[in-house]
Amino acid sequence: MSEILKHIGVLVGGLGVTVELSLLGFVGAAVLGIALTIMRVSPVTPLRAFGTLYVEVFRNIPLLVFLFLFVFGLPDAGISFPLFTSEAICLAMYFAAFACEAMRGGINAVPVGQAEAARALGMTFTQSLRLIILPQAFRTMVQPLANVLIGIVLGSSLGAAVGVSELTGRVQILELQYDEPLPTVGLAALGYVVITLTIALVAGRVQKRMAVRR
Amino acid sequence: MVDQADGTSTPSGKVLLSVESVNKRFGDFTALKDVDLQVAEGEVVVILGASGSGKSTLCRCINRLESIDSGRVVFDGRELPQEGTELARLRADVGMVFQSFNLFAHKTVLENVTLGPIRVRRTPKAQAVEEARALLNRVGVGQKESAHPAELSGGQQQRVAIARSLAMHPKLMLFDEPTSALDPEMIREVLDVMVGLAKDGMTMVAVTHEMGFARQAADRVVFMDAGQIVETGPPEEFFTRPRTERARDFLSTILQH
């Protein structure tokens, strides 16, 4: 155990990498998710079709398989990124599908009459989305989006399988070195719990604050 | 077959709205079948009919909230285009009042009324606020301007919704069963506002079951059944001497209670 504690700095560093990966992945997933959501609720059929296709593709393959494809498959096509970058891109692309569904759920929870009233006033599609629908949809989106972020944090551990040196990857190496699975893996689990509980706490706060504004 | 009793009576004056051979289906259900309707500037038309007769669909097709399968809708000399900026511009000139009010839930009463003028018409904010206050006073909810819709009664919400539409200076007002979701004691206050509007010369198309309103304010009653206009004429004539069997049946069922 004391051997492991000597390496606590390495583990904390790994936690940092995990947080970094998660934040980058989430920002990417959110931006991409917004674009997909707009496509999926737009009146233009080809855009809607593309949005649906994207979501269905990514929702139906395991993240690990996508990571393998990206990290080991793409170099064959002559495209390669550093490992850290690769995983951040994968997390963003993969979880964009889930972010899109969370946002679309929020939008669909806004009664259809709100959009009709906006259109009847002469607002364009973009105006009605921006001024009427999204502000009301945000409240219902907070918790599902927090779930997506939690999914990203936990999913980022799969980076270990392709050699990214984040929390799980470092734990794996320590475990191989000292053969003490309980303290090493236990510490990693604790690290993840601390992050995800923080996310849940913040999401609860944000949602409460938005409720008052409505 | 349709007993087309005077389905073509054309109003006098400049035609503002012209619905021409409009057809609309929802799957297997024919909601509108070869509907023709002309509305002149300043005219007040009340559409009557049993539920499922297509009257609400007709109302919603006029500003293309519902798309049509064939035929055309011409408003103010221009045919309604496909969904897009051009259609949005035309819609700005057509006010619409819904059965379920549809006030913007996250905005105050005043913001509900000023949003359209500021964002769609690009009216300067100070002017929009001033006009909105005048309109809210006119419909009798001036003291509620900083409330949110959820804090208002149904009747108050509907009056705000009318003010919201009027703030756009519409050339035509559509009312889609504006009093159907209201408690009886609130129907009066909304109808009073509508009668006032009609008296001021607003062009109106109203889907409503309020016979009192039709008698008091309508220039013409249009009776629909099974997606078709079956009979049209002045309200007094329609209510006292309906010419078609279907209109007689309809009137006898609604006048019984």
Residue A189 lies in a domain: no
Residue A211 lies in a domain: no
**Which of B89, B96, B100 lies nearest to residue A120, judging by beta carbons?**
B96
**Which of A114, A119, A125 lies nearest to residue B104, judging by beta carbons?**
A114
Q: Is B183 helix (H, G, I), strand (E, B) or coil?
A: coil
Residue A174 lies in a domain: no
- Who contacts A101 (Cβ-Cβ below 8 Å, separation ≥6)? A55, A59, A144
pLDDT at A120: 97
Say whether A116 and B88 touch across the interface (CB within 8 A).
no
- What is the residue-wise DSSP string for A92-105? HHHHHHHHHHHHHH
Residue A206 lies in a domain: no
User: What angle is formed at CA B233 by the lines to CA B232 and CA B236, rounded to 5 degrees?
Assistant: 135
**Which of A123, A131, A214 lies nearest to residue B88, judging by beta carbons?**
A123
Rg (CA), chain B: 18
pLDDT per residue over B215-229, tens digit each? 999 999 999 999 999
Query: How confident is the model over A114-126, as a mean pLDDT?
Result: 95
Looking at beta carbons, which pairs linking B66-69 to residues 24 or more positions away fall under 8 Å? Answer: B66/B24, B67/B24, B68/B22, B68/B23, B68/B24, B68/B32, B69/B23, B69/B24, B69/B25
pLDDT per residue over B21-32, tens digit each? 999 999 999 999
- Given CB atoms, is A108 within the 8 Å cutoff of chain B? no
ipTM given for this complex:
0.90
**CATH number of the domain that residue A60 is part of:** 1.10.3720.10
- With the C-alpha atoms ordered A60, A63, A66, A68, is the resulting torsion angle positive or negative? negative
pLDDT per residue over A178-199, tens digit each? 888 888 889 899 999 999 999 9
Give how far A166 is from chain B: nearest CA, Å: 43
Residue A89 lies in a domain: yes
Name the DSSP letter for residue B144: G
Residue A184 lies in a domain: no
Q: Which residues of B touch A212 (CB under 8 A)?
A: none
Residue A47 lies in a domain: yes
Residue A100: which domain range?
A: 17-167
Count of the separate structural domains present in chain A: 1
For chain A positions 115-144, those within 8 Å of chain B (CB to CB) are 116-125, 127, 131-132, 135-136
pLDDT at B180: 93
Instruction: Give the residue carrying structure tokens 């035929």.
Output: B71
Instruction: List the helix and strand counts (H, then E) for chain B.
Output: 9, 10
For chain B positions 121-150, those within 8 Å of chain A (CB to CB) are 148
- pLDDT-derived band at A1, boundaries 50, 70, 90: low
Residue B93 backbone dihedrals phi, psi, to 5 degrees: -90, -5
pLDDT at A39: 93
Q: Which residues of A touch B171 (CB under 8 A)?
A: none
Please count the other Cβ atoms lying within 10 Å of the Cβ belonging to residue A147. Answer: 16
- What is the residue-wise DSSP string for A114-171? HHHHHHHTT--HHHIIIIIIHHHHHHHHHHHHHHHHHHHHHHGGGGGGGT--SHHHHH
For chain B positions 147-186, those within 8 Å of chain A (CB to CB) are 148, 161, 164-165, 168
Which runs of consecutive H residues, i.e. helices, occur in chain B? Answer: 55-62, 85-92, 109-119, 125-138, 154-166, 184-199, 211-217, 235-240, 245-255
Say whether A121 and B116 touch across the interface (CB within 8 A).
yes
Of A63, A93, A94, nearest to A157 (Cα)? A63
pTM of the predicted model, to two decimals?
A: 0.81
Residue A129 lies in a domain: yes
Assess whether pLDDT exceeds 70 at residue B257.
Answer: no
